[in-house]
């Protein structure tokens, strides 16, 4: 028996097309990426609202009725869940992705994440105040 | 080892700028979007929204328009970037980057133009 | 006395565990075939000890790499029950009652049994200029080049890499595109980029920001989860993305001569 050709006979394990379904961290990663669809949807929804507001009180009423329909509510509850997932994952990942150095020493993760959560709460509170005062 | 060219997406010098838009969008969306969806998507439809005149005054304020346009542009490019890679990696379509990437970023561009139209020409 | 009397009893009873080892001989097998070996289940035995038992006692034809048995040489990385692990630091008892599925590291071409082709990986490491570049400003050979603890701290984490390739094995982007430079090579580039003695960042930029470089990464983050040395290659890549983006903007804004 001759020695097998070392370079020709390597085995390459094929990657399944849906590789991310087989392992939890990969699946969570894909959900994180997919949350961007709901980020975009939320902005589209807001722009539709602005367009209705621009068109007058009747159009605004019409939009509010549409937004109270069960399927629109379901869509927006899903959007809320996934945009929250986006925010949390974004804030978990940012302190690792950005090395903030003060006087040559890298700040610990909580000192980067802390201001992010603070800004999130402050901006959210401001938006609520702006709209429902 | 013989290879039939790169399987993955080819890079253009524009990549860093797309990434900056993606990152800005991720940050803007993280801070702004959940509260807006909570209010306009869930709370107001169920409990009644703000009076029309107040909402119109808030929306038509120049700062609101600029902020919403900024959010829209960044959020759309954030989506485009993630969606592009989700499709290319998640469905094994990296070979089609030259088709998928222009479609994604083109859609973001169109969305940005539509946002500018709504915020500055109709309102 | 052992805190685990049950374990103790099991051992004296000669309990064993099945190692389901992926076997592949080019020319004979079209693809790897799993083969079961029964090895003693001892509390202090790692998966590597199990493989050594197979090789010494049951089947001398088994091929795999190992050396230090203490998580330093980085040569014993394999896929254990689906996860990339150092087999010398992974204990059989973790998988009792078994079987323990041992496969070659994913993402790499298999040469034989559990041995994968590391040449592409070595090429990637070499491509990032992994040494101190001094651009003609070499200090005399007998000179010391002192660094403050802060200067050392800037890159120390990235210097802990043992080239075990577990991070590549965990990376779906690398699995899909073998031209991707990958986690350890980019972390290695950062190990030198962030060293106060180094002047090679501009040369490395051309590799890191090119096709197959950092812009291919989607921050799955699993490379850092797999790393046995806490290198956090995913963090290194994202940090470099910001650096590279700023550098690109700078080059874009500044006229050619002013760089
Ligand atoms: S970065 Fe970590 S996982 Fe990757 S080769 Fe180095 S030690 Fe191994
Ligand atoms: S044998 Fe050296 S790291 Fe496992």
**Residue C259 confidence (pLDDT) above 60:** no
Average pLDDT over residues A49-63: 95
Q: What is the DSSP letter of B33?
A: H
**How far is Cα C15 from Cα C238, in angstroms, rounded to an integer?**
47
More confident residue, C137 or C178: C178
Residues of A in contact with B55 (CB under 8 A): 53, 60, 131
- Does residue B62 sit within a domain? yes
pLDDT at res. A42: 98
A94 vs B6, higher pLDDT: A94
Dist. CA C181–CA C244, nearest whole Å:
15
Domain membership of residue B8 (yes or no) is no
Lowest mean pLDDT among A107-111, C79-83, C111-115, C220-224: A107-111
**pLDDT given for residue B9 in this prediction:** 38
Per the structure, how many domains does chain B have?
1
Question: Among the CATH numbers 1.20.1300.10, 3.40.50.980, 3.30.450.20, 2.60.40.10, which is that of A15-86?
Answer: 1.20.1300.10
Ligand showing the shortest atom-to-Cα distance for residue C71: 2
Provide the domain limits for residue B62: 15-122
Q: What is the pLDDT of residue C85?
A: 98
Residue B9 within a domain: no
Residue C145 has pLDDT above 90, yes or no: no
Mean of the pLDDT values across residues C197-204? Answer: 93
Our mutation pick for probing the ligand 1 site, out of C122, C174, C227, counting the most ligand atoms within 8 A of Cβ, is C227
Q: Do C245 and B16 touch (CB under 8 A)?
A: yes
**Model confidence at B6, in pLDDT bands (50, 70, 90)?**
very low
Quote the minimal CA–CA distance from A34 to chain C in Å.
13
C31–A11: do the CB atoms touch at under 8 Å? yes
Q: Do C215 and B92 touch (CB under 8 A)?
A: no
Does residue B10 lie in a domain region? no
Cβ within 8 Å, pair C172-A4: no
For chain B, give the mean pLDDT. Answer: 90
Report the CATH number that the domain containing residue B93 is assigned in CATH: 1.20.1300.10
User: What average pLDDT does chain C have?
Assistant: 91
**Is pLDDT of B24 > 90?**
yes
As a whole number, mean pLDDT of residues C28-34 equals: 94
This prediction has a pTM of: 0.90
Residue of A nearest to C148 (CA): A104
Residue C138 has pLDDT above 70, yes or no: yes
Q: What's residue A7's pLDDT?
A: 56
What is the pLDDT, as a whole number, of residue C139?
A: 77
pLDDT of residue B3: 37
Q: From the CA of C162, which ligand is nearest?
A: 1
- pLDDT band at B7; cut points 50, 70, 90: very low
A77 has a pLDDT exceeding 90: yes
Q: Is the pLDDT of residue C2 over 60?
A: no
Domain ranges of chain A: 15-86, 98-133
The model's confidence at residue C175, banded by pLDDT at 50, 70 and 90, is very high
Q: How many B-C residue pairs are in contact by the CB < 8 A criterion?
A: 50
Average pLDDT rounded to a whole number, residues C39-57 = 96
Question: What pLDDT is recorded for position B29?
Answer: 97
For atom 3 of ligand 2, the residue with the nearest CA is C71
Judge whether residue C13 has pLDDT over 60.
no
Residue B73 pLDDT exceeds 80: yes
Ligand 1 pocket check: which of C70, C73, C156, C184 to mutate, most ligand atoms within 8 Å of Cβ?
A: C184
Residue C258: the pLDDT is: 59
Residue labelled with tokens 């090679």 = C200
Distance from CA of C81 to the nearest CA of B (A): 23
B86 occurs within a structural domain = yes
pLDDT (0 to 100) of residue C1: 41
Q: How confident is the model at residue C255 (pLDDT cuts 50, 70, 90)?
A: confident
User: Is residue B2 assigned to a domain?
Assistant: no
Considering the domain boundaries, does residue B87 fall inside one? Answer: yes
Domains and CATH numbers, chain C: 3-116 (3.10.20.30), 119-258 (1.10.1060.10)
């Amino acid at each position: 028996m001759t020695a097998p050709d070392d370079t020709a006979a390597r085995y390459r394990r094929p990657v399944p097309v849906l590789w991310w379904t087989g392992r939890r961290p990969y699946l969570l990663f894909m959900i994180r990426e997919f949350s961007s669809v709901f980020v975009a949807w939320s902005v589209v929804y807001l722009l539709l609202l602005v367009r209705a507001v621009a068109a007058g009180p009747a159009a605004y009423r019409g939009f509010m009725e549409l937004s109270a329909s069960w399927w629109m509510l379901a869509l927006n509850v899903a959007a809320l869940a996934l945009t929250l997932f986006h925010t949390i994952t974004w804030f978990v990942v940012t302190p690792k992705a950005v090395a903030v150095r003060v006087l040559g020493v890298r700040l610990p993760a909580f000192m980067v994440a802390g201001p992010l959560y603070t800004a999130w709460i402050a901006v959210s509170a401001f938006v609520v105040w702006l709209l429902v005062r | 080892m013989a290879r039939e060219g790169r399987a993955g997406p080819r890079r253009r010098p524009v990549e860093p700028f797309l990434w900056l838009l993606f990152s800005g969008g991720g940050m803007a969306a993280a801070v702004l979007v959940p509260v807006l969806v909570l209010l306009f998507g869930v709370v107001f439809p169920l409990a009644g929204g703000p009076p029309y005149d107040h909402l119109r005054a808030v929306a038509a304020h120049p700062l609101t328009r600029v902020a919403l346009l900024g959010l829209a542009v960044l959020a759309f490019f954030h989506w485009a970037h993630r969606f592009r890679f989700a499709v290319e990696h998640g469905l094994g379509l990296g070979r089609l980057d030259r088709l998928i990437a222009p479609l994604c970023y083109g859609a973001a561009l169109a969305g940005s133009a539509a946002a500018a139209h709504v915020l500055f020409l109709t309102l | 006395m052992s805190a685990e009397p049950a374990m103790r009893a099991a051992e004296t009873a000669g309990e064993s565990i099945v190692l389901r080892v992926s076997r592949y001989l080019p020319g004979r097998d079209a693809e790897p075939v799993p083969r079961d070996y029964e090895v003693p289940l001892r509390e202090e035995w790692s998966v590597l000890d199990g493989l050594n038992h197979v090789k010494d006692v049951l089947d001398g034809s088994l091929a795999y790499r190992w050396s230090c048995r203490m998580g330093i040489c980085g040569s014993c990385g394999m896929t254990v029950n689906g996860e990339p692990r150092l087999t010398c630091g992974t204990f059989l008892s973790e998988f009792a009652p078994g079987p323990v599925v041992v496969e070659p590291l994913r993402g790499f071409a298999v040469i034989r049994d559990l041995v994968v082709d590391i040449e592409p990986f070595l090429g990637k490491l070499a491509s990032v200029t992994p040494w101190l570049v001094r651009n003609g400003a070499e200090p005399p050979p007998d000179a010391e080049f002192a660094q403050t603890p802060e200067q050392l701290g800037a890159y120390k984490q990235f210097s802990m890499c043992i080239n075990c390739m577990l991070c590549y094995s965990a990376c779906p982007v690398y699995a899909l595109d073998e031209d991707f430079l990958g986690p350890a090579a980019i972390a290695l580039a950062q190990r030198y980029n962030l060293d106060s003695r180094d002047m090679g960042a501009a040369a490395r930029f051309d590799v890191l920001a090119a096709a197959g470089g950092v812009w291919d990464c989607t921050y799955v983050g699993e490379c850092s989860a797999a790393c046995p040395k806490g290198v956090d290659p995913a963090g290194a890549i994202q940090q470099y993305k910001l650096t590279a983006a700023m550098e690109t903007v700078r080059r874009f804004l500044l006229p050619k001569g002013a760089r």
